[in-house]
Amino acid sequence: MQRISERSISREIFSGLYSPAPLAARADGRGFKKLLEGRKKPYDFDFACSMVRATESIFFDSGLAPALAFTFSDEVSLIYLRPPLAGRVEKIDSLVAGHLSAALSLGLGRLVTMDCRTIPLCREEILRYLVERQDEAWRNHVFSYGFYMLRQEGLNPAQSMARLRGLSESQIHELVFERGINLAKTPTWERRGVMVYRRGERLESNWDLPLLSSAEGALFLEEVSGVPFEKQQPFHE
């Protein structure tokens, strides 16, 4: 008769799912709206520092050290050129989420949880993936400024959402500009995120990133990752 433990192991969902490398492991915060209550809006520098420190921690003594990492808002993308944990997806997702949740909880002094998903990539897709995440950082930046500016003018959350619904990025940008803020002049880390990577034996966090979609951005990523980006393929998650 098969033992209960053997039967349960045979029923583990996704336990045999493996991902080749390169791959991205992307973690997102869960319930961070409540976590950020009382902090500066739309961006809180101290919280951003906590996110970067949690991201940096995964490079040390975790067994999960990536080639580089990109973070903005409550999101962290870890880029692996070789598969961590033999490419076992359930291990990657659970341990990355667990480590970042623990590191951020310690940094903030309160319980925080994150989830994670694994995204297989071709080498030619690494740049495209990071460009798309940086584009999302910009979209988040534009919407956040528009939303909290309307909140400061007395609109409640539902009214602010209704006011912004259907507006393009350029229209929200203009709405904010009319109220005295040029979004192109806000801190670079708010607009473009932060990159963490090793340079020799030293771990660096770059808060002043170039546009990764530019030639300068591609050269920067080649330098910090060691991956040439002569050809770009569209990325589809």
Classify 60 as helix, strand or coil: coil
Residue 1 lies in a domain: no
Q: What is the CATH number of the domain that holds 73?
A: 3.30.70.3000
Residue 231 lies in a domain: no
**Residue 58: per-residue pLDDT:** 95
Tell me which long-range contacts 99-105 makes (C-beta under 8 A, separation of at least 24): 99/57, 99/58, 99/62, 99/64, 100/27, 100/54, 100/55, 100/58, 100/76, 103/53, 103/54, 103/57, 103/58, 104/50, 104/51, 104/54
Q: Which domain holds residue 161?
A: 14-225
Residue 2 lies in a domain: no
Number of domains in the chain: 1
Residue 7 lies in a domain: no
**Residue 11: per-residue pLDDT:** 65
Continuous H helices in 109-183 = 123-152, 157-164, 169-178
Q: What share of the chain is helix, strand, coil (3-state, %, to 5)?
A: 50, 15, 35
pTM (two decimals): 0.89
Residue 8 lies in a domain: no
Query: Rounded to whole angstroms, how far apart are CA atoms 91 and 19?
Result: 11
Torsion of CA 135, 115, 208, 52, to 10 degrees: 170
Close Cβ partners of 73 (under 8 Å, ≥ 6 residues apart): 137, 140
Residue-level pLDDT, tens digit, the chain, 237 residues: 445 555 555 666 666 789 998 999 999 998 887 778 878 999 999 999 999 999 999 998 788 999 999 999 999 999 999 999 999 999 999 999 999 999 999 999 999 999 999 999 998 899 999 999 999 999 999 999 999 999 999 999 999 999 999 899 999 999 999 989 999 999 999 999 999 999 988 999 999 999 999 999 999 999 998 888 754 445 555
Residue 145 lies in a domain: yes
